[in-house]
Structure 1
Amino acid sequence: MTIRATVRGVGHYLPDRVVPNSEFEATLDTSDEWIRSRTGIERRHFAAEGQTTSDLATNAARAALEDAGLEPGDLDALIVATSTADLTFPSVATMVQAKLGMSSGFAFDVQAVCAGFVYALSNAHAMIVSGQARRVMVIGAETFSRLLDMADRSTCVLFGDGAGALLLEATDAEGTPQDRGILATDLNSDGSYRDVLYVDGGTSTGTTGFLRMQGREVFRHAVEKLATTAHTALDKAGLTAEDVAWIVPHQANLRIIKATAQRMGLGMDKVIVTVQDHGNTSAASIPLALSVGKAEGRIKPGDLVVTEAIGGGLAWGSVVLRW
């Protein structure tokens, strides 16, 4: 028998404030049509004043627990993928642990920017198959609105805030590609591309800083690397693109999503797309899309799902799982 990390529950949370593209027209040389045509984004959510990343993450975790029919005490571990922690330390994960009333187990953060959820999911998978944990809550949560230079039209219109959560549980399986659960992962990074996407603040500057991005370079790397990592993970699982029911990609830009699907030889009818409603929510985008996909009745038990993401670092990777 083989131990698999299977999906027991999923949930998400979005702040109440919805920011349509038109809101940027008053302060920037931009328009709803310009943003839609270049990114596919129509609106995004921004956190309220005083609303933190740990608040968003906690709400998403509660939704996933409800979906799973479990309580916080049933969890062995909690991982939060984020680049927008409430404080330098302690971790967002330990704050969520306290807010949930989870008095046992352990919690920690993972920081791989937009690839963070894929990295966190891979870590959770490793802990479950090794026997270190039986149930792990994996959360992607961001308040990227607090890292945006609102005078930079090339970046500030792209990002939004939100959180999504996936609850993984150890189950016995046959050890075949038909098993439910995570079947393969693939992680990569290349620090030589640091200047392509970064925040110009931190302990070296004593400031929070703003997000900076070379858009064309990010696009070029994203399309090439996302399709490659997805195929690599499928190969590891002993599967092909023809077996895929859904691609659930990082929701950064509709053109990147379309180009990646084309490189994989799959139509857009097999892609879960939420970027139009959420913008780029970094580490939160994949779990948000998974939760929406399930809630809308598209992702069903037995479906083969491929998630893939790329973020600052550059860091990128993918996970193949059967729902």
Structure 2
Amino acid sequence: MHSQRSSADGGPVRVGITGVGSCLPDGVMDSERLRRTVAAGSGLPLPRGVFERATGIRARRVAAPDEYASTLAERAARVALERAGYGPLDIDLLVFASASRDLAEPATAHVVQAALGSRAHALDVTNACNSFVNGVDLARAMILAGRARRALVVTGETPSRAVRHDPPGLDDFRAHFAGYTFGDAGAAVVLEPVARGGILDVDTETHSEHWRVGGIAGGGSRHPRGDEHTYFRGDGHELREVFEKIGTSALDRVRHRNGLEWTDLRRVLVHQVTVPYLERFAELTGVPEDRLVVTVPELGNVASATLGIQLDRIRDELDPGDRVLLVGLGGGVSVMTVLWEVS
């Protein structure tokens, strides 16, 4: 249990989400165009519909050459700030929480901050597709600790930059296949103390023995250079099997701890990789279909921006007291849940 500081009236401080924004680049790559591109680059005889049949993804958004992770994050941040009724100088903590980044150094948070014109304490948080929910958790903890008054958590995901369009053979095509699910997007939330509701519960589970299942090896001290290491490689089937084994326990804990049935939740927002995986998630957990917000057929796997985009899409349907469960699944691997009650 986290100890909480007290508010002015003596009650515990609650931290809630008071502004949400998202950003989708204009570029669209549909699955048939992607098939033709990969077939031409590799020389492989890829049958029509191969990507859509395997993944359920019809299209994904793709950032333009002059659009970066920071670009998408900044655009989403401006929307979130406006909806919360604040300007860039009203925040004192800016967390860029993303699997993508502009540069190895400095932190992309500084690029976003310079574009916004903010003066907040700025830092990056990176944990694959769980980066954004980790950023939300960190910002909440810093507010509860009295280290920040109002936080802006942003993500800008450009995983399309890590897609290999010219695999040299069938084995490489299979190794890079998970990358063909990727799409680009940005999302942002404002967090601050609230009088009621707010983030009620956070839970995590990490199984790091599976860190080799998938990822982008380039850019670190193991593989600082070399184009081969800049593409996403991974075993999608193995990753799915790992999540099936560990993914339900965190959900069971948060529901038991808070006495929740699925019907007590207005929405369940879950990270989405492919349509078959989302269907399997619903089957294993029992989440009713009408509680899900399905984005993967039209946007693909937008990494850590997934939950922020879903949250933005439902914001107008939410009423005070509604509860929303965010479920993050990230390579490494980790599972994370955030239970939020609308203030």
The one of 121, 125, 129 equivalent to 2:140 is: 125
Deviation per CA, 1:136-155: give whole Å up to 9, x if none. 11112211011121233622
Match of 1:10 in 2: 20
How high is the TM-score relative to the length of structure 2? 0.86
In structure 2, the gaps of 5 or more residues are 1-10, 40-44, 168-172
The one of 155, 162, 168 equivalent to 2:191 is: 168
- Give the structure with the larger strand fraction: 1
- Confirm or deny: 8 A CA contact 1:9 1:166 kept in the other structure: yes
Match of 1:201 in 2: 218
Whichever of the two has the greater Rg, that structure is 2
Query: Cα gap change, 1:303/1:149 in structure 2, threshold over 3 Å: closer, same or farther?
Result: same
Q: Match for 1:72: what amino acid? A: P
1:184 maps onto 2:201 in alignment: yes
Q: Match for 2:65: what amino acid? A: E
Aligned residues: percent identity? 31
Query: Cα gap change, 1:303/1:32 in structure 2, threshold over 3 Å: closer, same or farther?
Result: farther
Query: Cα gap change, 1:144/1:185 in structure 2, threshold over 3 Å: closer, same or farther?
Result: same
1:193 CA displacement? 0.6
Match of 2:122 in 1: 107
1:314 CA displacement? 1.1
1:54 CA displacement? 0.6
CA RMSD of aligned residues (A): 1.8
1:298 CA displacement? 3.7
Partner SS state of residue 80, structure 1: strand
The one of 284, 309, 322 equivalent to 1:303 is: 322
- Confirm or deny: 8 A CA contact 1:258 1:268 kept in the other structure: no
Q: Within 5 A, what are the aligned runs for 1:233-272? A: 233-272=254-293
Deviation per CA, 1:160-211: give whole Å up to 9, x if none. 11111111111234xxxxxx21111112222211111121312322235211
- Confirm or deny: 8 A CA contact 2:262 2:288 kept in the other structure: no
More displaced stretch, 25-34 vs 267-276: 25-34
- Count how many residue pairs are aligned between Structure 1 and Structure 2: 314
Deviation per CA, 1:249-291: give whole Å up to 9, x if none. 1121222222222333221111011111211111111101111
Counterparts of 1:102 and 1:234, CA distance in 2:
38
The one of 74, 86, 92 equivalent to 2:90 is: 74
- Confirm or deny: 8 A CA contact 2:22 2:309 kept in the other structure: yes
- Confirm or deny: 8 A CA contact 2:179 2:233 kept in the other structure: no
In structure 1, the gaps of 5 or more residues are 174-179
Match of 1:177 in 2: none
- Confirm or deny: 8 A CA contact 2:266 2:323 kept in the other structure: yes
Counterparts of 1:39 and 1:303, CA distance in 2:
32
Counterparts of 1:102 and 1:313, CA distance in 2:
32
Structure 1 residue runs of 4 or more that deviate by more than 6 Å after TM superposition: none
